[in-house]
Amino acid sequence: MKARLLLPALLLPTLLLLAGCDGWPASEPLPPPAPPPPGAVAQGDAAWRRALAPPGPPVTEALLARGADRYAIFCAPCHGATGAGDGGAVAQGFPAPPRLPADAMRTMTVIAENHARAHPFADRLSPADRWAIARFVERLSP
């Protein structure tokens, strides 16, 4: 019985002491946002529209290699190696995204605006990288 009365008797002075504190130490200011990737332009700008306009850059082995690299980083975790929507994130319980379209212009729109319930990548991928991914996706097996 005495133990039950002792706890509130110790708790009240402790709370009163804490209430008299001046507060927490000042926190550090947030760092400035990272600059956009080279070649990135604001969505909706005329330059953005021109950068996404077909036919895009010429398809080369270097472009496809860059697309494969960027796809592995930004797309494969959800869309999987073949674009079927069976990536590792889906295996962990996230909703499956739709199959990636084979049409490059539709892929460009999906990457920029990401209609598949995920974050858009327009601010993380330059138009050149989006074209590289779109051309890589065109060559994925159906």
For residue 95, the one-letter residue type is P
Fold for 46-138, please state it. Answer: Cytochrome Bc1 Complex; Chain D, domain 2 (1.10.760)
**Tens-digit pLDDT profile for residues 60-95:** 999 999 999 999 998 889 888 888 888 888 889 888
Residue-level pLDDT at 102: 65
Question: Has residue 31 got a pLDDT over 60?
Answer: yes
Residue 82: which residues within 8 A CB-CB, separation 6 or more?
A: 140, 141
- Return the pLDDT at 46: 65
Which of the four pLDDT bands, split at 50, 70 and 90, describes residue 19?
low
Reply yes or no: is the peptide bond before residue 55 cis, omega within 30 of 0: yes
